Amino acid sequence: MIRVVVVDDSAFMRKALTTMLEKDPDIKVVATARNGAEGLTVIRQHNPDVVTLDIEMPQMDGLTALRHIMMEMPRPVLMISSLTMEGAESTLKAMELGAVDFIPKQMSRVSLEIVKIEKDLQQKVKYISRRKIRAPRTSRPSLAVKATPRVAPPVMRGRPKRDVVAIGVSTGGPPAVQKVLSKLPANFPAAILIAQHMPAAFTGPFAKRLDSVCKINVKEASGAEPIVPGTAYIAPGGKHIVLQQRGSRMEVVVKEEPADALYKPSANVLIESVAKAQGRRAVGAIFTGMGNDGLLGIRELKSRGGYILAQNDASCVVYGMPKAIVDAKLTDEIVDIDDMASALMASIYK
């Protein structure tokens, strides 16, 4: 039985989350709390496997409570976030502080749209409950100015053999992506395209946050634009990005189609387009996430000579997407997230 504590100032949300979670016979909400201070008390009392934590609460907000949880009694924390710019920025900050992932909620207290998150909520709680959580390091790069990552100078081995890196990532992704991109040097010789499963309100703030801590440039993709080495393009939530040849140049293009894709953005859509456009001159990488999005794209890229990396089980929040390509024997390397930046750098010359 997975034991959960729900912390939210809304009685409606406490009831809704409890009802949704307990529809799964393997989950039990052992206590609820109205604010961060109450939350800390009941977490100490009940020692739950997972905590769901609202951000905006009286007396003690979610970010303050999260700091206490991670310092005193680290465990998987799932943030319950509003779909607003402010909610996105606070949620990304929470993940930097140690929260594992987030579930978006509707702003209206009477909205029945909240039931749409039920399956995702249950799955995430079940997956993250299996992970051991350690308190995050206290020293983090300043978000006020671009930080200088402490990485060794890139080893130049003649001309790069690959020009594009395509990354697919989902649950637990933002901290993983930040860890990797912040270690890359400014002269990283390839463009990076990223499909992170994330709501539309989150991808812009996510790109800005990454840009503030990376030597490379990071932006949310928009329209159609030529790819530039040393730049990472984040797919906007609710849309896809693809790589297309236009004349003599390669462009990253934002698209609505396929509208029926299970995920928008889709790692499969992105990586399949990279495979067709660049073939052996591309690297495909799959990071932490539920499900198997990216498997079909990676299979296509591998068949065309692309180089394939997967995040290892030990460093994933959810070993789903990487496991799918590992089990299919499509990987050239299986890499800890702490070593992924170095692996990406080396793969450009292989």
Query: Would you say the C-alpha torsion 291, 135, 285, 209 has a positive or negative sign?
Result: positive
Tokens of 104: 């978006």
SS (H, E, C) 104-143: EECCCCCCHHHHHHHHHHHHHHHHHCCCCCCCCCCCCCCC
How many whole angstroms separate alpha carbon 65 and alpha carbon 102? 15
User: What burial letters (b/e) apply to 259-291, b meaning 16+ CB within 10 Å?
Assistant: eeeebbbbbbbbbbbbbbbbeebbbbbbbbbbb
Residues annotated as catalytic are 170, 197, 293
Could you tell me how many residues make up the chain?
350
Q: Are strands 2-7 and 101-105 parallel, antiparallel or unpaired?
A: unpaired
How many whole angstroms separate alpha carbon 205 and alpha carbon 168? 19
| Residue at token pair 């779909």 | 83
